[in-house]
Amino acid sequence: MTITILAPQPYILPEDLPEDDIQDLLDTEGDTEMPDSMSRFNKIVTPGELITDDPQFMKGHGTYTGIDKAFASVVGTITRTNKLITVKPVKSRYTPEIGDLVVGRISEVSQKRWKVDVGARQDAILQLSAINLPGGILRRKSESDELQMRNFFAEGDLLVAEVQAYFHDGSVSIHTRSLKYGKLRNGYFLQVPPIYIVRSKSHIYNMPGGVDVILGVNGYVYVMKHLALPTGTGISVTRLEEEASEAIYSNVNEDIPEITRSNIARIANCIKALAKMQIPITETMIISAYEASMELEDVGDLVFPEVQERIATEAKFRR
């Protein structure tokens, strides 16, 4: 029996097809989609929904196979790269990348390391060797340092750190070897979907009203009283670094004036309003929402859904 291989017939686009529809028919490589079950790219699929029954395609993340068929395993949009099909989830956990600034909470103290909840699929690892010692002392960590680990970070403590590297099991290591990283206090913690956090060169912002905002790429946000490094005439830079390093591990909150506490609550509610309205959260957008909220004398009014919607809408048009 002779087998003849026929060349595939090209798919000719209709002449009257709108430009937007033409773009929808193109994949990431610029190839034209065939008018079959694969013509549903950029459409939302649900778990168990058939993506394609063509065996030539490779199945990637967000899919599972069954008798030469590919099905979606998550809710998301279909993405095709050459012969690889993946489904990008509409909503998923944070995926760490090296260099990300993250806010986390200590979940466990282990031998020479802490486990930190950063909202990812696995806890991040903060090793004892990846922190600064009180006083800014530069030396190898000893057994006495290991015995004092809970004096540095205990279960439940919040911290800001940077993603440093990946481990073989997919988890990541973080570090706090900088004066801008360390334990967090004098503020309020909130969580937003990480998809709304816009990556930028800096994620630590000085806001109006004596308030600092730390936007973790992982969706963890900390709003706190402005932290000013100690200054003084005749004090060396080394001494200033030592005082700042010692303050990093303090568990005592400072006295916060009522006006500052009000500003912290106002900015935190503005961030919640932006996230609720699915608006990207940036420094400019937060300031715009803060200015729009100044029309309200009572900060408590910002918890009402209709007020949050109005504030977020005004901020969107103010920028």
Per residue of the chain (319 residues), give pLDDT as tens: 566 666 555 545 555 555 555 455 544 444 434 434 444 555 788 899 998 888 888 888 889 988 778 899 988 888 888 888 888 887 788 989 999 999 999 999 999 999 999 999 999 999 998 998 776 666 677 788 888 899 899 999 999 999 999 998 889 999 998 888 999 999 999 999 998 998 899 999 999 989 999 999 999 999 999 877 555 444 444 554 555 555 678 888 889 999 999 999 999 999 999 999 989 999 999 999 999 999 988 888 999 999 999 999 998 887 6
- Spell out the domain ranges in the chain: 19-89, 93-184, 185-225+257-319
Per-residue pLDDT, 145: 82
Per-residue pLDDT, 240: 46
User: Cα–Cα distance between 290 and 314 in angstroms, integer?
Assistant: 10
Q: 19-89 with 93-184: one CATH topology? A: yes
The CATH code for residues 93-184 is 2.40.50.140
The answer to whether 220 and 98 are in contact (CB under 8 A) is: no
Backbone angles phi, psi at 70, to 5 degrees: -115, 130
Give residue 210's region: left, alpha or beta (phi > 0; psi -120 to 50): left
Per-residue pLDDT, 36: 46
Model pTM score: 0.73
The count of C-alpha atoms lying within 13 angstroms of the C-alpha of 157, restricted to the half-sphere facing its C-beta, is 24
Please state which architecture CATH assigns to domain 19-89: Beta Barrel (2.40)
